[in-house]
Structure 1
Amino acid sequence: METIRLFFGHYFSIDFFRRVFWFDRYRVKTPIFFNFLEIEVDVVEDLKDQIAVVTGGSRGVGKGVALALGEKGCTVYVTGRTLGDGDRTIDTTARLVTEMGGEGRSIRCDHGDDRDIEALFVRIGKEVGSIDILVNNVYKIPNPPAWGGGYWDHPIQVWDDQVGIGLRAHYVASWHAASLMFKSKSARMLNVSSPGGQSYHFSCSYGAGKAGLDRLTADMAIELQPKGIPACVLYPGAVSTEFIVDASKEREMDLSESQTPLLVGRAATALLMDDDLMSRTGTIQWVEDLIEEYDLYDENGSRPTEKYASRISQGENHRWAPDVNK
């Protein structure tokens, strides 16, 4: 939490002084009649003393978030089922986190098994005592993927894959993480969802899982607010994950305007480091907006310019859920 100390030694929260002073990201600008004040602002520039948990971090967005947190010096627990030295394992992600300046720790966890999730957080509690950042990202892609057709064309197991692993597992992880987050002075939560929570993408079970996560996060934010813990939803756009890149070799896909997993991770990390994150609690944060707000680029020094949110809102598959209050 950032604070400001006046010359006479009293401390005030930065949120209080935003009403009096004007701030940019790294400097303080004061009206001329306040120039007699000596002001110190502690800006969070790294995460060296922070403990993060990223679920589903062997590949894709989860891997990108873990690496971006590592860039800021964070200690990152990476969870998932795949071990070993391959390029899509939690062990490799943890190693890369360390190489990027953080400390990566991998723990195998089947997020479809409540006992595994419980054991994960018991172990983390014993090792470090508290959690500062929880990123719920784990997701299971059905095999074969449920793309196209009607829900009756896919096995019922697809629901368990996309809602059980993609929604229930987030709830279970958040439940077990709560007591460890309460021990942190700056805990925050980020749940990785998708525009599929608001418009048709892939299948109805996919949409149900994402819409459920959006609502779960909004309601968790209400219950966490008295604890001082913000919780937000992250909406990536089209992301060139390993799965999508592989799929593009078999079907025509335009990935020229896609976001890289690391760029998504940098957007997530910038959001998590924002001193005013509580003002956004319970909201959906689009990656495309965050990369502009925080002036972010991917590892190649580029970033997509297409507005994914605008494109899907104008598409024929965009169908907002009905207002249940009407």
Structure 2
Amino acid sequence: MSNESNQDMTLPNAAPGHPRRPLAGRIALVAGATRGAGRAQAVELGRAGATVYVTGRTTRTRASEVGRTTETIEETAELVTAAGGTGIAVPTDHLDEERVRALADRIEREQGRLDILVNDLWGGEHLLVGSVFGKKSWETPLADGLRILELGVRSHVITAALFLPLLIRSDAPLHVEVTDGTAHSNRRYRENMYYDLAKNAPIRLAFGLGRELAEYGGTAVSVSPGFLRSEQMLAHFGVSEENWRDAIAQEPAFAVAESPRYLARGVAALAADPGRAARWNGKSTSSAELAKTYGVRDADGSRPDAWAYFEAAHGGGEVSPEDYR
């Protein structure tokens, strides 16, 4: 399927006369849209015509524990609108049940339903380096480990529980769980017990919720980027999106890195796929598999497959990440 043809997909409630805006008339929530894959998914859903509520903890007047002030949810909403959709920023801590309930009430009041829920909550990178990776579970500070589970599991459960009643009002409910790794790649231990639990939980959430949404004609799917060139990752290597290849000297595997738009384009295509339930419900997939299925490419025209590269590298022998672009 080509990228051109995937843009012509329509859903039952899509606005007529907009073949290149297949999500026109659809209502989406991207939880955790401040930056990275969350922001990119919000923008691509907007580009396809959706009204997108975007949430996060960093605003123009307040930073979250992540400590970055260069990206805000207000900016994400503006990018959604500039792309052709309608972006609505709502500051929300998804560990605060009352705030999440208030958001659900607002969307019900303003829209009457929710069609697409993207659960891209995380914000725990600052807990990983030095604190988690390379340490046994009993060597990991308990407070850090429990915070990882709050950010990567509890926030997802709260959001799903409080928005699914609104989502099943849609004629084609879509619940997307975003994580790091697929059911296949995560057969390998993810270096630390807390991180392993946090990144496998969304896969099981999608599996279980797929069973529950099936009777409503819905789809629950877990998706993962590969080696993501998020704003935080670029800053870690001291590069920008324009010169990101300079970081390969520090980390050769970065040659297979992908921009946030890669996963986002795949998710937008999945959202516009009328046959998505039969294809994806309850399953786990990656940006690379979505790209192959829907004919989309990364911003530079490439089609990287980081998980295939890492699998080959684990097998031993000489493997070049450039061969997986």
- 1:220-231 equivalences under 5 Å are 220-231=209-220
Deviation at 1:272, TM superposition (A): 1.6
- Partner residue of 1:16? none
Deviation at 1:290, TM superposition (A): 1.3
Measure, in 2, the Cα distance between the counterparts of 1:135 and 1:284.
14
Counterpart of 1:159 (choices 115, 130, 145) is 145
Measure, in 1, the Cα distance between the counterparts of 2:224 and 2:299.
20
| Counterpart check, 1:104 vs 2:87 | yes
AA aligned to 2:50 is C
Deviation at 1:167, TM superposition (A): 1.4
Query: Which structure carries more helix by proportion?
Result: 2
- Do the aligned residues in 2 keep the contact of 1:142 with 1:161 (CA within 8 Å)? no
**Alignment CA distance shift 1:310-1:144 (3 Å):** closer
**Alignment CA distance shift 1:84-1:312 (3 Å):** same
AA aligned to 2:105 is V
Counterpart of 2:113 (choices 119, 130, 150) is 130
- 1:18-33 equivalences under 5 Å are none
Larger displacement relative to structure 2 (78-87 or 161-170): 78-87
5+ residue gaps, structure 2: 9-17, 62-68, 240-246, 317-325
Matched residue of 1:143: which SS?
A: helix
| Counterpart check, 1:189 vs 2:172 | no
- Do the aligned residues in 2 keep the contact of 1:121 with 1:176 (CA within 8 Å)? yes
**Alignment CA distance shift 1:239-1:156 (3 Å):** same
5+ residue gaps, structure 1: 1-23, 28-41, 318-326
- Do the aligned residues in 2 keep the contact of 1:190 with 1:234 (CA within 8 Å)? yes
Deviation at 1:160, TM superposition (A): 2.7
Measure, in 2, the Cα distance between the counterparts of 1:60 and 1:25.
24
AA aligned to 1:297 is R
AA aligned to 1:191 is E
Deviation at 1:287, TM superposition (A): 0.9
AA aligned to 1:138 is L
- 1:182-221 equivalences under 5 Å are 182-195=168-181, 197-221=186-210
- 1:23-102 equivalences under 5 Å are 45-84=21-60, 87-102=70-85
Measure, in 2, the Cα distance between the counterparts of 1:228 and 1:52.
17
AA aligned to 1:253 is E
**Alignment CA distance shift 1:160-1:114 (3 Å):** farther
| Counterpart check, 1:243 vs 2:232 | yes
Deviation at 1:296, TM superposition (A): 1.4
Question: Deviation per CA, 1:252-299, whole angstroms, max 9, x where unpaired?
Answer: 334332111111111111112111111120001121111122221233
Question: Deviation per CA, 1:125-184, whole angstroms, max 9, x where unpaired?
Answer: 111111000000110215342333323333212233322221121111111111211221
- Partner residue of 1:140? 123
TM-score (norm 2): 0.78
Larger displacement relative to structure 2 (91-100 or 162-171): 162-171
Deviation at 1:104, TM superposition (A): 0.4
TM-score (norm 1): 0.78
Measure, in 2, the Cα distance between the counterparts of 1:138 and 1:197.
19
AA aligned to 1:285 is T
Question: Deviation per CA, 1:181-229, whole angstroms, max 9, x where unpaired?
Answer: 1221121111002227432335221111121221121011111111111
- Do the aligned residues in 1 keep the contact of 2:81 with 2:87 (CA within 8 Å)? yes
- Do the aligned residues in 1 keep the contact of 2:257 with 2:306 (CA within 8 Å)? no
- Do the aligned residues in 1 keep the contact of 2:44 with 2:268 (CA within 8 Å)? yes
Structure with more contact order per residue of length (Cα contacts < 8 Å, sep ≥ 6) = 2
- Partner residue of 1:312? 311
Matched residue of 2:126: which SS?
A: coil
Q: Which has the larger radius of gyration?
A: 1
RMSD: 2.5
Larger displacement relative to structure 2 (246-255 or 85-94): 246-255
Question: Deviation per CA, 1:21-69, whole angstroms, max 9, x where unpaired?
Answer: xxx8699xxxxxxxxxxxxxx9785211000000110001101111111
- Do the aligned residues in 1 keep the contact of 2:226 with 2:258 (CA within 8 Å)? yes
Matched residue of 1:299: which SS?
A: coil
Matched residue of 1:239: which SS?
A: coil
- Do the aligned residues in 2 keep the contact of 1:258 with 1:304 (CA within 8 Å)? no
- Do the aligned residues in 2 keep the contact of 1:198 with 1:207 (CA within 8 Å)? no
Measure, in 1, the Cα distance between the counterparts of 2:42 and 2:6.
24
Matched residue of 1:105: which SS?
A: strand
Measure, in 1, the Cα distance between the counterparts of 2:312 and 2:275.
28
Measure, in 2, the Cα distance between the counterparts of 1:70 and 1:25.
16
**Alignment CA distance shift 1:213-1:143 (3 Å):** same
Measure, in 2, the Cα distance between the counterparts of 1:96 and 1:154.
38
